[in-house]
Amino acid sequence: MPPGPPDAQRDDRLEARIKSLIRAVPDFPIPGIRFRDVMGLVEDADGFREATAALADRFRDAEPEVVVGIEARGFIFGVPVAQELDVGFVAVRKAGKLPGEVRGVDYDLEYGSARLEMQAVAPIRAGTRVLVIDDLLATGGSAAAAIELVRGMGGEVVGAGFVVDLPELPGAERMRELGVEVFALCGFLGDEE
């Protein structure tokens, strides 16, 4: 059994259910990468509902005022988490996808580099309590970029929630180094199906 999600007690039943709905896709998007496809979880109404409720419940006491979701699967999970918490949702997107003035950050991926952007008119100001949501935590590059964007607008990141953690990669440690509480619903070791 791989290590549980970082920084939190896990619900073994929920973790097993979520893991059973996530497909492993070898050599995607490049050879040597085992992609964890969360779409099977999204396609299962009960599993999806349980996963988003669990993410929201984990951070409810942190009293976030806004949920930030990272493109693209962070949108899928972030919107229902925001609804569960009765707060707004802000999209962090790949470069060139948002209209108007944007703020951007370049970052490294597990298999390349990219840029994330947020609209300058987003409802994040000094002291706004923000929860960052994405589907998967690997190297932590996109999450760190989102955190940098939020902090650059004056927001306070109260946590980062993920469906999947890949504990063999440095993402969780990177979040802790940034002073951010990190939580994932499940974890997969490299070759684990």
Active-site residue set: 73, 110
Residue 36 β-bridge partners: 24
Q: Exposure string (b/e) for 160-171, b if CB count within 10 Å is 16 or more? A: bbbbbbbbebeb
Sign of the torsion formed by the C-alpha atoms of 8, 77, 96 and 122: negative
Q: Which residues contact residue 79 at a Cβ distance below 8 angstroms, ignoring those fewer than 6 apart?
A: 67, 69, 89
159 Ramachandran zone, left/alpha/beta (phi>0; psi -120 to 50): left
Nearest 5°: the CA angle 138, 30, 44 is 60
**Helical segments of the chain, H only:** 12-20, 39-43, 45-59, 73-85, 141-152, 171-177
Q: What number of other Cβ atoms are within 10 A of residue 97's Cβ?
A: 13
What's the CA gap between 129 and 65, in Å, rounded?
Answer: 5
